[in-house]
C-alpha cells in the first residue's frame, strides 16, 4: 500500500488529507494543532509527533502550510520532513510560497536525493474535500509522471507549467489578479452605494454581466449584504500572496502600478481584519472620510 504523509491541516489541507484516506492510502498527518486531525485519525490516519515522524517511510510527503517560513520549518527545520524521507521519495509542496523559495527548496531537497514538485492549487475548501481542485505544477516531466498517483486523488485538472517554479509563478499571478479584482469590486460597490443605486440590482448585474468573474460572483452579494460568514480566504493570506507576486513581478517588469495598488489595499485589509474573510475589504473602502 502506498503511504502518504500530509503536513498542514488548515482549511485546504484537511480536505486534501481526507482524499487520500478516501482512496485507500496509508496516511500519516501532522499539524501544529492536533485537534484539527482528530476526525482524520478516527478515519484511520496516523497522528505523527513531528513532520519527520510523519515522513518516516512515506512514498510521498505533501505539505499545505501558510507561507515561506512555515514551509521551511516543516521541510528543513528541527524534526523537518526532509530529515526522515527515504531517497527517491516525492516532496510535493502544495503551499503558496514565493518563487525564490520554491527554487531554493527544490535545490535543497534534490540535494538530499528527493524528487521535488511545486504544486500549488486553486479551488475552495469544498473542492479540496471532494477531489476537485486544479493543480498548478512545476516539475520535470518524468517527476510529474511519478507523482500522478499521488496527485490524482486531489484534483480534476493538472496544469503543467514546465520546470520547478512554474506552478508557483502561475499561482502567484492567479492570486494577484484575484486581489486586484476584489479590491476593485469593493470600490465599485462602495461607489454604487454612495450614488444610491438599488444594491440588489447592482449585485445581480455584477455577477451576470461583462465584469463577472468567479471572484466577483462569489463576493458581490456578500459585500452588498456585509455577510462574511464562512471565510474561505483571509485578508492576511491574500496579502501574503500579493506581496510574493509583486516581488516577483518587479524582477521581470519595469513597473506594476495596478499590482502595487492592490497590495496597498490589502495592507489596509490585513491591518483591519487579518484573519477574517477578504470580502471585508468593502468595510475599509466604504468608511466615511
Which residues make Cβ contacts (< 8 Å) with residue 183, sequence separation at least 6?
261, 262, 265, 266, 281
Q: In a structure prediction context, what are the per-residue pLDDT tens digits for the chain, which is 289 residues long? A: 799 999 999 999 999 999 999 999 999 999 999 999 999 999 999 999 999 999 999 999 999 999 999 999 999 999 999 999 999 999 999 999 999 999 999 999 999 999 999 999 999 999 999 999 999 999 999 999 999 999 999 999 999 999 999 999 999 999 999 999 999 999 999 999 999 999 999 999 999 999 999 999 999 999 999 999 877 799 999 999 999 999 999 999 999 999 999 999 999 999 999 999 999 999 999 988 7
Count CB neighbours of 80 within 10 A: 18
How is residue 264 written as a grid cell? 496597498
Query: In a 10 Å sphere around its CB, with 0-12 CB exposed, 13-18 middle and 19+ buried, how is residue 227 labelled?
Result: exposed
Q: What's residue 229's pLDDT? A: 86
Under a CB-based contact definition with an 8 Å cutoff, are residues 94 and 120 in contact?
yes
Catalytic annotation, pick one of 146, 171, 240, 270: 171
Q: What's residue 183's pLDDT? A: 97
Residues 150, 8 within the same domain: yes
Residues 109, 44 within the same domain: yes
Q: What's residue 76's pLDDT? A: 98
How is residue 63 written as a grid cell? 505539505
Residues 151, 217 within the same domain: no
CA distance 206 to 162: 35
CA distance 78 to 73: 7
Residues 86, 183 within the same domain: no
* CATH assignment of the domain containing 253: 1.10.1040.10
Residues 174, 145 within the same domain: no
Element (H, E) at 135: strand 133-137
Q: What's residue 231's pLDDT? A: 74
Domain boundary among 144, 163, 182: 163
CA distance 247 to 226: 32
The pTM for the full model equals: 0.95
How is residue 40 written as a grid cell? 482524520
Residues 143, 192 within the same domain: no
Domain that holds residue 269: 169-285
* CATH assignment of the domain containing 110: 3.40.50.720
CA distance 107 to 55: 19
Q: For Cα atoms 143, 91, 99, give the angle at the middle one, nearest 5 degrees.
A: 90
In the block, residue with C-alpha cell 503558496: 96
Residues in the chain: 289
Query: In a 10 Å sphere around its CB, with 0-12 CB exposed, 13-18 middle and 19+ buried, how is residue 34 labelled?
Result: middle
Q: What's residue 29's pLDDT? A: 98
240 is catalytic: no
Residues 130, 189 within the same domain: no
Q: What's residue 67's pLDDT? A: 98
The 3-class SS string of 73-98 reads HHHHCCCCHHHHCCCCCEEEECCCCC
Q: Domain tally for the chain?
A: 2
What are the φ/ψ torsions at residue 88 (nearest 5 degrees)?
A: 85, -5
Q: Is 94 helix (H, G, I), strand (E, B) or coil?
A: coil
Q: What's residue 47's pLDDT? A: 98
Q: What's residue 111's pLDDT? A: 98
Q: What's residue 239's pLDDT? A: 97
Residues 29, 131 within the same domain: yes
Amino acid at each position: 500500500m502506498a503511504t502518504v504523509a500530509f503536513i498542514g491541516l488548515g482549511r485546504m489541507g484537511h480536505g486534501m488529507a481526507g482524499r487520500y484516506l478516501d482512496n485507500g492510502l496509508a496516511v500519516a498527518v501532522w499539524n501544529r494543532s492536533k485537534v484539527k486531525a482528530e476526525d482524520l485519525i478516527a478515519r484511520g490516519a496516523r497522528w505523527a509527533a513531528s513532520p519527520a515522524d510523519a515522513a518516516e517511510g512515506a512514498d510521498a510527503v505533501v505539505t499545505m502550510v501558510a507561507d515561506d517560513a512555515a514551509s521551511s520549518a516543516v521541510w528543513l527545520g528541527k524534526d523537518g520532513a526532509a530529515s526522515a524521507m527515504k531517497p527517491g521519495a516525492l516532496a510535493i509542496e502544495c503551499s503558496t510560497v514565493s518563487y525564490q523559495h520554491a527554487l531554493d527548496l527544490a535545490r535543497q531537497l534534490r540535494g538530499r536525493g528527493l524528487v521535488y514538485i511545486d504544486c500549488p492549487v486553486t479551488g475552495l475548501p469544498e473542492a479540496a474535500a471532494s477531489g476537485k481542485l486544479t493543480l498548478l505544477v512545476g516539475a520535470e516531466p518524468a517527476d510529474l509522471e511519478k507523482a500522478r498517483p499521488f496527485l490524482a486523488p486531489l484534483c480534476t485538472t493538472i496544469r503543467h507549467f514546465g520546470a520547478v517554479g512554474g506552478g508557483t509563478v502561475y499561482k502567484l499571478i492567479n492570486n494577484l489578479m484575484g486581489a486586484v479584482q476584489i479590491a476593485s469590486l469593493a470600490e465599485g460597490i462602495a461607489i454604487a452605494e454612495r450614488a444610491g443605486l438599488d444594491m440588489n440590482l447592482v449585485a445581480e448585474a455584477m455577477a451576470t454581466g461583462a465584469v463577472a468573474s468567479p471572484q466577483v460572483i462569489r463576493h458581490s452579494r456578500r459585500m452588498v449584504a456585509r455577510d462574511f460568514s464562512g471565510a474561505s480566504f483571509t485578508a492576511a493570506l491574500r496579502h501574503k500572496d500579493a506581496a510574493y507576486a509583486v516581488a516577483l513581478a518587479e524582477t521581470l517588469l519595469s513597473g506594476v502600478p495596478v499590482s502595487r495598488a492592490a497590495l496597498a489595499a490589502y495592507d489596509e485589509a490585513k491591518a483591519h481584519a487579518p484573519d477574517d474573510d477578504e470580502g471585508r475589504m468593502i468595510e475599509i473602502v466604504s468608511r466615511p472620510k
